[in-house]
Structure formats: structure tokens, C-alpha cells
């Protein structure tokens, strides 16, 4: 396994679980606190046989068929604190660590929220107030809030299939891909300083991984602490994680904030529960304030308009993006943390459901696989909510 082939289709299932074998990583420690216990209450075939509405004109499927058709490495569902489904494929186990890709963005956004709650980070402040080195870049004049909601005016292509898109050049700069352009900077921070502005800051939403990388830099500067230690202190050691997480780094040890975090499936559920429980972990530790949770759920007055006018093909009518989290529907009942090649944390607040899926899709983006998975988790949530309602009726 090497830089040339680790993202090749035939190797994804293996490489996504062994990033530390061929790339430098740093540990995000779980500390010595208690592990949040997930109560096993498997529903087995009853869960897998739930019907999933078709995306378009296709035939309805079942949960089992969706899981089998979407290159699943592992998936799990938690209802309240009960672990009702957990399954791994192709040699992956509960102890395996898997790259989260852009689910990492929500973890970094959570660190930013915790720093904001502490008064260490002002989301209305200019980026350059924390990172003066960006004064000569396109980020001059952008605010931390612009980063959190991906509404800066930076020119940055997220076209994963274009080897010359900035998202791929970034990988070259941090030595995650073979260097084709010798003129590129050799560190993440060096690359971010080369980005330029194409339109005004605070405009429409446009999904750009560089926003999270700058956000991570801002968090480190505000706290005076590297992200692995910062994330451990504010999040990973406080949420009852079962295992350490890791983050891939560039040649000088800077974390790849936008997509380099690796973790286990159960810890993804534990993380998701923070947003189910209004900022409190399963170990009763407050991670985020009620105020941060509320502003995440409500968005800004123009968040949905900014999302609607996005130049990207988001396919989420009425949705929004806030604090590094996707809201796929009108309203704020369902939250998504998403990563390319099929990584997802699904949070359904009314149904009290957190679901997670780790995958190795052949293509970075696949709308059919993404939205069939979303519908599958919606169907599970609807079934569980209906069952809960029936039990309450009987109790009365």
C-alpha cells in the first residue's frame, strides 16, 4: 500500500482501516475516563426486513438490501442508549479504526463550539485575528462564522474526479498523494495561504474542505494547543469513547482536519448522541452548551436561502448546512455528518435514533448510495418511533 494506490477501488476496504500503516498519524486520546456503555438490544431480522421507499422509479428495498448494495464496511444503530444493530463486513471488527473522511469536519466543528462556549473563540471575529499568516490570502476579511457554515468566498474546487482540483492539490501538498506539481507548498498551512478569493465572504453556501482546515488552524491558534490534544481534552476524553481516535498529518505533524480522523463505529454513535442529548454525552459530561446546540439546530435567518442558492448539487431541498453539519430536510429533526466514499452519522432527534455507517464506495460521491442509506435510516427511525408510540398508548 502506498500513496499511488491507497485510493484505488480494489484497495479501499483495506486502506480505509489501515491508514496508519502508510501515512503519518497522531493519537486523539480517549483519556482514562469511563466508557459509555451501549446496552445491547439487537432486533436482528426484524430490523433488516423494514421496507425502504425507492429513490425514484425503482423497486422498494429492505434495510438488508440497502446495506448489501452500498459497500458497507460496518453499520450500527442506537435507539436511546440501546444498541439495536451492529454488523461488520470483510474482516472489520468492533475494534477496527476506519477513516471518517469528512465526518471529521463535524468533530472539528464541535471543538470550535466547545471553544466558543469557553469564550476562547469568537465566531464573529475575523480569521486573521487568530491566524495573521492568512492576511495575504483569500481569507482576509472572512470570519470564523463563514468557516463554520462554509460561506466564505474562497475559490476551491471539490471535484474529486479532477486531479487538478484544489481538493486533490491539497492532498499532494500534505503528501497524501504523489506530488505531481513540484511548485506546491509542502504543508497544509502553506497550501491554505495560497488560496484566493473569488466572491464576497458571507454569501452562498459552497462545500469546500479548505474551510474546515482553516477552522482547525484557527482553533489551534485560539487555544494554543495542537488539535489532537485539543480534541482529546474537549471531546474524545469526555464523551465515553471506547478507543483512541487518530488523525492523519502532513509532514510537519499538522492534522488533516477536513477528513483525516480515524475511529471505531461505536464511538461514532457515542459522538452522535451528543446532538441527540442537547450537548451532553452518554457519560453525563457536557460537551456543548444548550446555546450552541440551539443555534446549530436553528441556523441563521438566511442559512436555508444560502443553501438553496449553492452552486453545488446538494439534492436536499429545504436543507441547510450549519456548524459543519448537514440538515437534509426542512426543519431540524435530522442531522447528518457525511464523508466521501460512504461515511455517515445519522441523528434523528424525535425518534431518539443515532445510526452510523462506514463504507468503501468505489466512487467518492454516489447519490444513489447516499440517499438510499439516508432513507434506510429514516425508515428505521419511523418504525421505532411508531413502536414507542404504541407502547406509550398501552401504558396509559
Which residues are designated catalytic?
A: 102
148 to each of 239, 291, 297, how far by Cα in Å?
A: 22, 16, 14
Please list the helix, strand and coil fractions of the chain in percent, rounded to the nearest 5, in that order.
35, 15, 45
Calpha distance 235→113 (Å, rounded): 11
Task: Give 35's contacts (C-beta < 8 A, 6+ positions apart).
Answer: 240, 241, 242
The Cα–Cα gap between 78 and 229 comes to 28
Give the containing element (helix H, strand E) for 274.
helix 265-276
State the CB neighbour count (10 A cutoff) for residue 60. Answer: 10
Tell me which H or E stretch contains 157.
none
DSSP for 322-389 reads ETTEEE-SSSSSEEEEEETTTEEEEEETTTTEEEEEEE--SSS--HHHHHHHHHHHHHHHHHHHHHHH
Could you write out the DSSP letters of every residue in 296-310?
HHH--TTHHHHHHT-
Cα–Cα nearest to 218, from 290, 147, 278, 288 = 147
Q: Which three cell numbers stand for residue 277?
A: 442529548
Q: How far apart are CA 337 and CA 23, in angstroms?
A: 24
State the greatest distance between any 2 C-alpha atoms of the chain, in Å, as a whole number. Answer: 71
Ramachandran region, residue 278 (left: φ > 0; alpha: ψ -120 to 50; beta: rest) = left
Amino acid at each position: 500500500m502506498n500513496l499511488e494506490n491507497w485510493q484505488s477501488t480494489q484497495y479501499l476496504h483495506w486502506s480505509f482501516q489501515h491508514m496508519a500503516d502508510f501515512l503519518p498519524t497522531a493519537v486523539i486520546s480517549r483519556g482514562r475516563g469511563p466508557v459509555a456503555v451501549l446496552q445491547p438490544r439487537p432486533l436482528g431480522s426484524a430490523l433488516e426486513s423494514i421496507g425502504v421507499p425507492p429513490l425514484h422509479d425503482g423497486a422498494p428495498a429492505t434495510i438488508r438490501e440497502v446495506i448489501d448494495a452500498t459497500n458497507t464496511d460496518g453499520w450500527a444503530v442506537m435507539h436511546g442508549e440501546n444498541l439495536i444493530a451492529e454488523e461488520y463486513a470483510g474482516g472489520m471488527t468492533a475494534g477496527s479504526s476506519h477513516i471518517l473522511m469528512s465526518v471529521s469536519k463535524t468533530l472539528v466543528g464541535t471543538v470550535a463550539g466547545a471553544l466558543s462556549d469557553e469564550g476562547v473563540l469568537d465566531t464573529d471575529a475575523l480569521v486573521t485575528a487568530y491566524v495573521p499568516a492568512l492576511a495575504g490570502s483569500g481569507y482576509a476579511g472572512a470570519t470564523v462564522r463563514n468557516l463554520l457554515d462554509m460561506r466564505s468566498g474562497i475559490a476551491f474546487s471539490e471535484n474529486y474526479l479532477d486531479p487538478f482540483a484544489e481538493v486533490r492539490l491539497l492532498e499532494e501538498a500534505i503528501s497524501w498523494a504523489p506530488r505531481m506539481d513540484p511548485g506546491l507548498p509542502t504543508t497544509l498551512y502553506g497550501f491554505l495561504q495560497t488560496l484566493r478569493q473569488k466572491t464576497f465572504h458571507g454569501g452562498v453556501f459552497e462545500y469546500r474542505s479548505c474551510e474546515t482546515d482553516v477552522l482547525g488552524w484557527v482553533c489551534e491558534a485560539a487555544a494554543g494547543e495542537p488539535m489532537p490534544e485539543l480534541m482529546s481534552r474537549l471531546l474524545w476524553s469526555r464523551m465515553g469513547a471506547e478507543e483512541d481516535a487518530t488523525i492523519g498529518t502532513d509532514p510537519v505533524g499538522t492534522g488533516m482536519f477536513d477528513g483525516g480522523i480515524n475511529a471505531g463505529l461505536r464511538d461514532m454513535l457515542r459522538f452522535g448522541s451528543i446532538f441527540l442529548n442537547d450537548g451532553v454525552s452518554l457519560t453525563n459530561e457536557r460537551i456543548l452548551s444548550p446555546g450552541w446546540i440551539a443555534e446549530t439546530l436553528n441556523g441563521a435567518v438566511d442559512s436555508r436561502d444560502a443553501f438553496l442558492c449553492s452552486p453545488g448539487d446538494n439534492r436536499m431541498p429545504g436543507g441547510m448546512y450549519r456548524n459543519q453539519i448537514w440538515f437534509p430536510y426542512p426543519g431540524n429533526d435530522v442531522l447528518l455528518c457525511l464523508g466521501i466514499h460512504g461515511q455517515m452519522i445519522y441523528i434523528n432527534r424525535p425518534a431518539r435514533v443515532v445510526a452510523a455507517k462506514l463504507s468503501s464506495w468505489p466512487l467518492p460521491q454516489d447519490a444513489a448510495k447516499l440517499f438510499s442509506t439516508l432513507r434506510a435510516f429514516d425508515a428505521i427511525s419511523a418504525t421505532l418511533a411508531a413502536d414507542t408510540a404504541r407502547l406509550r398508548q398501552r401504558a396509559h
